[in-house]
Structures are given as structure tokens and as C-alpha cells.
Chains A and B, each alone.
Chain A
Amino acid sequence: GQQVMQIPQYQHVQEGEDFTTYCNSSTTLSNIQWYKQRPGGHPVFLIQLVKSGEVKKQKRLTFQFGEAKKNSSLHITATQTTDVGTYFCGGGSSASKIIFGSGTRLSIRP
């Protein structure tokens, strides 16, 4: 069945440094979504990418969808303490079910 792998599992950075998490699917996706879960909270939708090679930006966050629609990345420029949390990617198939990656937990040294 479809699998979505996400790396790294953990990332600890100094405040101000950049951060990137990568998501890889075993099958071609119809779309990919990114969610953020703050410690003690529930996942909150960030963005959805649909087109091959698509790049979207939200302030310091840059999201990319690979040309083959099998991988994606989230890059945060100049991290801030408010960026702390776990970032999940979710791969959407044509059947509308989303398979989530295991998440990347970001912690930040002030």
C-alpha cells in the first residue's frame, strides 16, 4: 500500500537557523498537505500543494512539491521559538484518503 516517509524525525536548531523537513511517497500523489502540531495541541492545516513542481510561500515558510509528485519539502527560514512543534506531511491519493508521514519534531534553542 501507499507509504509516506518523512525525515528527519527530530531537528534541534539554534534560533535564527534554517530548518527543512522532507516527505517522500511510494506512489504518485494527487496532492500533498502540510500540518503543524504544537506541543499538547492537535494538527492544524498549513497548506496544500497540487501541481507538479509547485512552490508556495507563507512568510518564512516555503513549500515545494516535486516534479514527479512523489516528494515534498517544507523549509523555514530564520526559525523563531514560535515555530516549535511537529510538522506532518500528508499525501493525498485520488481516493481522497490522506496518508500522513511520521512527522518531524522541531525544537529551538533560544
Chain B
Amino acid sequence: GAGVSQSPSNKVTEKGKDVELRCDPISGHTALYWYRQSLGQGLEFLIYFQGNSAPDKSGLPSDRFSAERTGGSVSTLTIQRTQQEDSAVYLCASSLGQTQYFGPGTRLLVL
């Protein structure tokens, strides 16, 4: 595709529910990143996939967060038992080298 796409663009959920966020990276990009950005804040690293290597999960804030990348392409970030503090914009980025190309993000609101 022309760029990184993410879905849904907005998600409103109730506290305690599970959510799945999807990222379609740029075709051929071997690296995929998930970040969280709270309102007016910086980019908080969550998880990093590189090719077939084991993902770097060092940024996941709790065991309620998990992510997978199927076939080295599409990635899904899952948040279980959502909490209000999970409300943020979740950004996905992909890269072939060092330059990261960001998607438009998913804005998650937990009520």
C-alpha cells in the first residue's frame, strides 16, 4: 500500500472489555513498531517486531497488553480488560531501514 494503515481510527470501549487494534505496514517493511501517545505527551515505545526474530516486548506496560505479527506483515495489538488509563492514541510504524513511517493511529477511549 501507499502507507501504513491502522484500524479502527477510533475506538470507544467500556472498562473491562478487550480491544484489538490492527496495523497494516508498508509492503516489504521488515520492522514494525507500536507506540502509545497520551494527549499532549511523547511517544511511548510498546513493542518492536523485526523480521522473524523474537519481538522486543520491553515496552509493554502490563501483561494485559500483547501483540502479534502474522506472516511478517499485519500486526494486532490486543489490550485485555481495558482500564481508563489505557485511553490514548496507539501509533504503528514500519520501516525497512532506520526511517520509521507512521500510520494515522487509533484513538482509544475507555469509559
Contacts and interface: CB of A to CB of B under 8 A. Distances in A.
B65 interface: no
Nearest to B35: A100
Interface size class of A (residues with CB under 8 A): 20 to 34
Given A42-B104, A97-B48, A88 B42 contact: yes
A13 interface: no
A92 B42 contact: no
Interface size class of B (residues with CB under 8 A): 20 to 34
A105 B52 CA distance: 37
Contacts of A95: 56
B70 interface: no
Given A42-B102, A42-B105, A100 B50 contact: no
B31 A103 contact: no
Contacts of B104: 42
Given A43-B102, A45-B100, 6 more contacts: A43-B93, A43-B100, A96-B31, A97-B45, A100-B45, A103-B43
26 contacts: A31-B98, A33-B100, A35-B100, A42-B103, A42-B105, A43-B93, A43-B102, A45-B99, A45-B100, A88-B42, A88-B43, A90-B100, A92-B98, A95-B56, A96-B50, A97-B45, A98-B100, A100-B35, A100-B43, A100-B45, A101-B42, A102-B41, A102-B42, A103-B41, A103-B42, A103-B43
Interface of B: 31, 33, 35, 40-43, 45, 48, 50, 56, 58, 91, 93, 98-105
